[in-house]
Amino acid sequence: MAGGNAPILGKILGHFRQQPKRQQICDAFIVYYFLVAVVVLAYPTLTYCTFPFNALMSALLGAVGMLVLTVSVRMHISNPETFYGISAEKSFWEFCMCSILLLLVATHFMG
């Protein structure tokens, strides 16, 4: 079964290697934040315990929020002509400021 998927994974990796370095970095962060969200959701499922519920929700809010912010930066980097008058540097600056704000909100929500 795994042998049948090898050409598909090879094409995906080939396409990934053709992307510019900035997009590769954004894609790596997107995969990382997705895996963090999956682990955060899998923890209460496997342990049958959601005792620090506010901490669980804060971690999920942080992971999904960073995922959305990173996807928006990747959209801007990959297709800059749709965002009139906004440079990639300004987009990255807004990403950094929103990330800090999201971190503060998640920390406050954690209690």
The 10s digit of each residue's pLDDT in 33-70 is: 999 999 999 988 898 887 888 888 999 999 999 999 99
Nearest to 102 by CA among 25, 53, 33, 26: 33
**What's the pTM?**
0.82
Please, which residues have CB within 8 angstroms of residue 95's CB and are 6 or more apart in sequence? Answer: 69, 70, 72, 73
d(CA 38, CA 19): 26
pLDDT given for residue 3 in this prediction: 61
pLDDT given for residue 51 in this prediction: 81
- Is the pLDDT at 1 greater than 70, yes or no? no
